């Protein structure tokens, strides 16, 4: 029970890595607030956790909207009285276009979810964590946050921003007991490509990214990322702050 007594908000909890985190965190004793825009998948993960004996509250919301972010955090504090862990996991993909061909609309959409969402939620969470003596923020980044070949320009820029958010938050609030770390996830078996309109994928860009993808050592499971998130959320990692940890089977070692 590595998270016994802790309250954890997990975004993008309806599928993939977020769903794995919700199930694992609840099994390890956390009271989970699962945030997800898709009501159907949100209902599924809530049912899964409850069936396994875990404690969970679902919140339907879009992290790109400040009002929804407020409601997510207020659900945690209103239902469970505090907030110990924030996992900024929700994210969407771009269409693999390079900087010469990116779409204004797509950039606004990707940044709203991948950057503004974590920034909004962290801004709300940090004061609560400081007031109670500390807490842990775990951001789901990507190898695209530390490399240039894994995705298009928009997604790559957004994940580099998440890395910057992580390091700045860690440095600014370390004396107040707030830790912030990021997982630079590699290839993971999730449904993130469902966020992309196949008809709008840039063929040239996808081919270029495919060269980098061609050297990937192995695909990870969502549970592999959840295991690392559990460690970073728990007190076992109390001396780890501002770290960007690759979970990519050695992809970025190339």
pLDDT score at 155: 97
List pLDDT tens digits, range 113-122: 999 999 999 9
Structure tokens at 250: 């050695």
What is the band of 246 on the pLDDT scale with cuts at 50, 70, 90? very high
Tell me if 158 sits within 8 A of 217, measured CB to CB.
no
List pLDDT tens digits, range 123-170: 999 999 999 999 999 999 999 999 999 999 999 999 999 999 999 999
| Cα 78 from Cα 205, distance rounded (Å) | 45
Q: At what angle do helices 222-233 and 16-27 cross, to 10 degrees?
A: 50
pLDDT score at 193: 80
Question: Which H/E stretch holds residue 10?
Answer: strand 7-11
- Active-site residue list: 155
60 three-class SS: strand
Q: Output the average pLDDT for the chain.
A: 97
pLDDT score at 192: 79
What is the band of 235 on the pLDDT scale with cuts at 50, 70, 90? very high
DSSP string, 146-168: T-SSSS-HHHHHHHHHHHHHHHH
| Cα 120 from Cα 64, distance rounded (Å) | 8
Phi, psi of 239 (to 5 degrees): -100, 10
| Cα 254 from Cα 68, distance rounded (Å) | 40
Sheet containing strand 135-140, edge to edge, reads 55-60, 31-36, 7-11, 85-88, 135-140, 178-185, 244-247
As a whole number of Å, the CA-based R_g of the chain is 17
- Cα-based torsion angle of the residue sequence 83, 87, 166, 152 in order, rounded to the nearest 10 degrees: -150
Q: Which residue has the higher pLDDT, 254 or 83?
A: 83
List pLDDT tens digits, range 21-47: 999 999 999 999 999 999 999 999 999
Structure tokens at 248: 């990519």
Statement: residue 58 has pLDDT above 80? yes
pLDDT score at 196: 78
- Residue that has been written with the tokens 């770290």 in this structure: 243
- Residue that has been written with the tokens 């919140």 in this structure: 59
pLDDT score at 149: 96
List pLDDT tens digits, range 184-209: 999 999 877 887 788 899 999 999 99
Mean pLDDT of 209-237: 97
Statement: residue 17 has pLDDT above 90? yes
For residue 183, what are the contacts with CB-CB under 8 A and spacing of at least 6? 138, 139, 140, 141, 225, 228, 229, 232, 245, 247
pLDDT score at 128: 98
pLDDT cut 70: percent of the chain above it: 100
Burial class of residue 46 in the structure, from the number of CB atoms within 10 Å of its CB (0-12 exposed, 13-18 middle, 19+ buried): buried
Least reliable range by pLDDT among 2-16, 185-199, 232-246: 185-199
């Amino acid at each position: 029970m590595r998270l016994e007594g802790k309250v954890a908000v997990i975004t993008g909890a309806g599928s993939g890595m977020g769903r794995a985190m919700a199930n694992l965190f609840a099994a390890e004793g956390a009271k989970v607030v699962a945030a997800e825009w898709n009501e159907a998948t949100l209902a599924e993960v809530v049912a899964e956790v409850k069936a396994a004996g875990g404690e969970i509250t679902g919140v339907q919301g879009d992290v790109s909207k400040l009002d929804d972010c407020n409601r997510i955090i207020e659900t945690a504090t209103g239902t469970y009285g505090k907030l110990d862990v924030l996992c900024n996991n929700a994210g969407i993909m771009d269409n693999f276009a390079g900087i010469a061909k990116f779409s204004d609309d797509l950039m606004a959409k990707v940044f709203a979810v991948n950057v503004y969402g974590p920034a909004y939620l962290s801004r709300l969470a940090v004061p609560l964590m400081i007031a109670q003596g500390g807490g842990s923020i775990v951001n789901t980044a990507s190898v695209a946050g530390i490399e240039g070949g894994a995705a298009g320009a928009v997604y790559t820029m957004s994940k580099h921003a998440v890395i910057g958010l992580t390091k700045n938050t860690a440095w600014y609030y370390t004396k107040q007991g707030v830790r912030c770390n990021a997982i630079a996830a590699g290839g993971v078996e999730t449904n993130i490509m469902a966020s992309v309109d196949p008809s709008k994928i840039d063929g040239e860009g996808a081919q270029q990214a495919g060269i980098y993808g061609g050297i990937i050592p192995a695909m990870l499971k969502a549970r592999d990322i959840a295991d690392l998130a559990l460690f970073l959320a728990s007190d076992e990692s109390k001396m780890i702050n501002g770290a960007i940890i690759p979970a990519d089977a050695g992809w970025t070692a190339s």
